[in-house]
Amino acid sequence: MQGYKHILLAADFSEHSIEVAQRAKNLSQQFQAQLSVVHVTENLPISSSMDGQVMPFDIELNEELMQLTKQRLAKLGTELGIAEEHQWLVIGSPKIEIVTLAQAHNVDLIVVGSHGRHGLALLLGSTANGVLHHAQCDVLAVRLTE
């Protein structure tokens, strides 16, 4: 099997994400590869559930959410022994940002879960599917079951 030099874990912080993280960590140890982690935050306008109206973009609330997300990422990074400069928090579309980041940093294996927060047990989630179709490197979709 081809050895990998740089493995990128795509972490969505869903209930199964630790399983995916463990697999990425094991592979990085097996191949003595650099392990990086990315979380992508989708920057959506916040809408009111009362009348469906889209409310103005709330910068303060977004900054607060970004800080919380940063802390979660740092916690996961520490647990996996990933240095801060390899913990990446990006805003945008998960599938696009994961693939773009992988290319920019010469990642040769992306590790995703077969599904995340929105997925079903036996189907490939849309992020996993998008990454699989657009990545220029290998992609491992860790099969997650309920």
Which residues of this chain interact with ligand AMP, rule CB under 6 A? Answer: 10-12, 20, 38-40, 94, 112-113, 115-119, 125-128
Please provide the DSSP assignment of 68-93 as one string. HHHHHHHHHHHHHT--GGGEEEEES-
Q: How far is the CB of 48 from ligand AMP (least distance, A)?
A: 23
Residue closer to ligand AMP (CB basis): 33 or 140: 140
Residue closer to ligand AMP (CB basis): 77 or 119: 119
Query: How far apart, in whole angstroms, are the C-alpha atoms of residue 129 and residue 8?
Result: 16
Query: How far apart, in whole angstroms, are the C-alpha atoms of residue 11 and residue 98?
Result: 10
Instruction: Give the amino acid at 4.
Output: Y
Q: How far is the CB of 57 from ligand AMP (least distance, A)?
A: 19
Nearest position to ligand AMP, beta carbon: 125
Q: How far is the CB of 58 from ligand AMP (least distance, A)?
A: 20
Distances (CA, A) of 69 to 64, 83, 107: 9, 17, 23
Reference 142, options 118, 126, 124; nearest CA is 124
Residue closer to ligand AMP (CB basis): 40 or 99: 40
Residue closer to ligand AMP (CB basis): 77 or 94: 94
